[in-house]
Amino acid sequence: MHDDRSITEHRLRRVLKERIRPAVHSRPVPLAIERWEAPGEPVPVTEGLAAPYEACAIGETWGPAWGTTWFKVTGTVPAEWAGRTVEAVLDLGFDRMMPGFQCEGLVHRADGSEVKALNPYNDWVRVADSAAGGEQVEWYVEAASNPVLVDHSATYEGDRQTSGDEPLYRLARMDLAVFETEVWELVQDLEVLHDLMTQLGETDARRYEILRALDAALDAVDLGDVPGTAAAARTRLTGVLAAPARASAHRISAIGHAHIDSAWLWPLRETVRKVSRTTSNMVNLMDAHPEFVFAMSQAQQLDWIKTHRPELFERIKKKIADGQFVPVGGMWVESDTNMVGGEAMARQFLYGKKFFLDEFGIETHNVWLPDSFGYTAAMPQIVKLSGSKWFLTQKICWSQVNAFPHHTFWWEGIDGTRVFTHFPPVDTYNSDLGGAQLAHAASNYREKGRGSRSLVPFGWGDGGGGPTREHLARARRQRDLEGSPRVEIERPDAFFEKAHAEYADAPVWAGELYLELHRGTYTSQAKTKQGNRRSESLLREAELWAATAAVRVPGYGYPYEDLERIWKTVLLHQFHDILPGSSIAWVHREARATYTKVREELRGITLAAQTALAGEGAAELVFNCAPHARRGVPAGGAGPAQAPAGRQQVTVEERHGGGHVLANGRLLVEVDGRGLIVSAYDLEARREALAPGRAANLLQIHPDFPNMWDAWDIDAFYRNSVSDLVELDALEVAEAGPDAVTVRVSRTFGRSAAVQSITLRAGAKTVDLLTEVDWHETEKFLKAAFPLDVKAERSASETQFGHVYRATHTNTSWEAAKFEICAHRWIHVAEPGWGTAILNDSTYGHDVTRDMRPDGGQTTTVRLSLLRAPRYPDPETDQGAHTLRFSLAPGAEIADAVREGHALNLPERVVPGAGPVAPLLAVDDDAVVVEAVKLAEDRSGDVIVRLYESRGGRATASLTAGFALSGAFETDLLERPLPGPAVAAPAADGTVALTLRPFQIVTVRLRRV
């Protein structure tokens, strides 16, 4: 037989596009249109309905960037349409090739209730299933003119303060029309079969069976009367659509989903509207399709709906009760997991799962986190302690170099906890359920022969409107279809139960899920990252002192509502496009303002509690919020600071050849004439920290123009060019006293300037470095280098509730790909017997390299990534003044890094008062770190303390409460009892014995008498 395959396929594509799809809506009748431009920010629905409308016509332009235009559409269903299905087609000017990231609309009735959203693949509104004729239509469309910002070019459209006023869209169509059901069904038949056919091999008989059936169906279509001949065409496809899948066909659990970034190329206020638009579509789709299941993560987004659209929220609650609308994820937002602090990660689950429990009575079991930029090795333990069992991710498929070896596996964290994890082989969380994606899922699945199923989230995200009736039509046709994976729409928990049952002995992946992409997110938008770190620290302080005051001071009221509200604000800003610095300028401008308000409010809460605790008096009391004692003040207590016995004063001398020599009896630090640290000598160990002939605290600048994702990425080739910033403007001793000496260094470079203060304090084993940068570079990357005389095979980086080791070598592509890594408060490198830590107060990006010297020694260079200057999506990223603090700690062990890292991030507070304040509780082993002290969420007055083992070893400790106890027990993150053996019952003296595994997190609930 002659091969006419390409001819038939081309015929199908053209007939579908030009004749059959346009015939789905027939006999169009224009609606009358009026419009009103809302001034400024979006207005309440009542104001939009009551606005003064003016006449409007198809073809008119509308919508400046970030504006809202209200359209009023009215019309009458023709009498001759009686008995027909009638819909309105409302096309705001959509780009069909881009389902999200553009204009969107929400249709309201005259009473203000929502009907459904308008999106590129969802531009219809049902008027009547069977019209009587004469029905009156009156709708109000709240249309958002969000600018298209996806082309990765520098633009000032990303902030209303700098965007233009020109209209962005042109009104395309607003008609009443007859919905031709048979034509629509024919479209679905043809599209599914075409997609399936093109995925089959060119020698596969099934492909040609489908081809012949399609040819026959097209022969049956009268192009002049598609509605009248659609049913006949469909009969010719019955056979090929009825052929069942083979027994070994891959099984797909399809879950409706609409991934909506809580901020990204739009501000937070627009996300509030996006989630309302999408969920209104979902509940409508559920009404029409009882088999449809939709999963929605992010408690914050549902809380927005509750606040701004209470009537829609009630509809959602009904669908949740019916089992169609499924809350997933268990977190307040789909947060970043690399940079979020340990306690903040715990609160993501506390407040997320608590919301689902309080509002819906739902205990979520799966953690739904498809789009974050890599996943911390601390996550499995946190997941388990939240009461969750399963983890879902997707983004790892974006890795540039190494393909992740599993799709279903056990993920093992730093403490040894394992969580059953799935990584959908479809490689998207916005599937169209088309043949190409389903075939890819089946062929890509790495567990063949052991497992047989995978999960596919389907639906248009980020303003695309979610799943559509077309998605459901594809799922129905591919439920049991020869040549296709079997598709079943079901709840996520059902998938995980089945996957676990068939593959309980899945392979284990130990350690972080490192994304080999988007490494620049550890650095971009430094002020957002600084605001997050400092907010986390301030929340720790506020809770500790407020809890202490609530227990100790009669009449002091613990500020439950304020602390929960502030926590939720901080958690929201940990979303994976806010904290990583990958959102538009508007988002980060608002974030900076928000962090300022958070800081002032938390300082107020802290001061009120400290004042209540201190009492009336003039004694200078130092409040120590850190988990370790310092200057004689116990952890969690307050009192007069004391100098350690035998502490030497700090001295400063001129250095031969220029510069200064600083000494305090523990360290001897040389700053040369260029203002660089050329020696950091550990006097106690008699060991030089710096590599011979090398300088530390060296600012270095690189070109920074990645191949695509500007704010997200740094590509390894940035290292090919580097400039050392050694030109000096000024070098002076800015402070010289017995307690501290500071050398100040000033430089200018490019259009920027930096002032660095190098401080050595009496009794300290750290060199404190304050760097103030007035940054005005473009597409540049600023680093601070510390070349250390250490033969380190690996580095240790603090992560949530512990630390993670990474190789310093590049033996394999896996190690080489980790050329930029994330660390929290410290990074540590060591050889047996001696090491050094670099501490920071708000920096996350680091790199560690090693080189062999001619003398046979090894130099391990640790660099902090300080600032970037990408142009997209915020062309002014990081521009302006920054203050960054970091410290060099020669001779530090891991325990020292933990202690000094907390000390740097949790400064002392001095308050006048009557006398010392005893700690609310104490732990007798410094390896056991108190992460949080607070009162219980249930307002029982119980004290909650969260601790963890910080050094990677076993620990036995005693927890002593500074108040009378009636009981103590271990809880999960939601403060519910656990049966674990980590906590013993209180002894007669009120102490509680603790036994912790390496890096174990233990939450203890202390019952007060």
Instruction: Show which residues are catalytic.
Output: 371
With beta carbons less than 8 A apart as the criterion, state whether 781 and 701 touch.
yes
With beta carbons less than 8 A apart as the criterion, state whether 154 and 60 touch.
no
* Nearest in space to 119 (alpha carbons), one of 133, 131, 101: 101
Strands 858-868 and 880-890: unpaired
With beta carbons less than 8 A apart as the criterion, state whether 230 and 52 touch.
no
Q: What share of the chain is helix, strand, coil (3-state, %, to 5)?
A: 25, 30, 40
Strands 325-327 and 294-296: parallel
**End-to-end C-alpha distance for the chain, whole angstroms:** 90
**Residue 23 DSSP label:** G
CA angle 587, 590, 592 (to 5 degrees): 110
Rounded to an integer, what is the distance from CA 441 to the centroid of its chain?
A: 25
Q: Please report, for residues 112, 477, 832, 964, the alpha-carbon distance to residue 614 in angstroms, rounded to integers and kept in the order given.
A: 54, 72, 45, 21
Q: Please report, for residues 28, 90, 104, 279, the alpha-carbon distance to residue 125 in angstroms, rounded to integers and kept in the order given.
A: 14, 8, 14, 15
Beta strands in 212-298 (DSSP E): 251-257, 294-296
Beta strands in 77-153 (DSSP E): 86-91, 104-108, 114-118, 124-128, 136-145
Secondary structure class of 405 (helix, strand, coil): coil
* Nearest in space to 770 (alpha carbons), one of 868, 676, 669, 697: 697
Q: At a CB cut-off of 8 Å and minimum separation 6, what does 85 contact? A: 126, 128, 129, 130, 131, 178, 179, 181
Beta strands in 413-568 (DSSP E): 418-422, 453-458, 486-489, 508-510
The one-letter code for the residue type at 157 is: E
Structure tokens at 933: 């002290």
Rounded to an integer, what distance in angstroms lies between the CA atom of residue 248 and that of residue 243?
A: 15
* Nearest in space to 460 (alpha carbons), one of 116, 91, 96, 113: 96
Q: Is 617 left (phi over 0), alpha (psi -120 to 50) or beta?
A: left
What would you report as the CA-atom Rg of the chain, rounded to the nearest whole angstrom?
A: 31
Rounded to an integer, what distance in angstroms lies between the CA atom of residue 495 and that of residue 150?
A: 34
Secondary structure class of 478 (helix, strand, coil): coil
Helices (H), 557-637: 560-572, 585-614
Rounded to an integer, what distance in angstroms lies between the CA atom of residue 699 and that of residue 677?
A: 11
Question: What is the CB-side half-sphere exposure of residue 255 using CA atoms within 13 A?
Answer: 29
Beta bridge partners of 995: 956
Q: At a CB cut-off of 8 Å and minimum separation 6, what does 386 contact? A: 330, 346, 349, 350, 353, 367, 972, 973, 974
Q: At a CB cut-off of 8 Å and minimum separation 6, what does 700 contact? A: 722, 723, 724, 725, 782, 783, 784, 785, 863
SS3 track for 684-701: CCCEECECCCCCECEEEE
**Residue 20 DSSP label:** I
Rounded to an integer, what distance in angstroms lies between the CA atom of residue 397 and that of residue 414?
A: 23
**DSSP result, 877-940:** TT-EEEEEEEEEEET--HHHHHHHHHHHHS--EEEEESS-B--SEEES-TTEEEEEEEE-TT-S
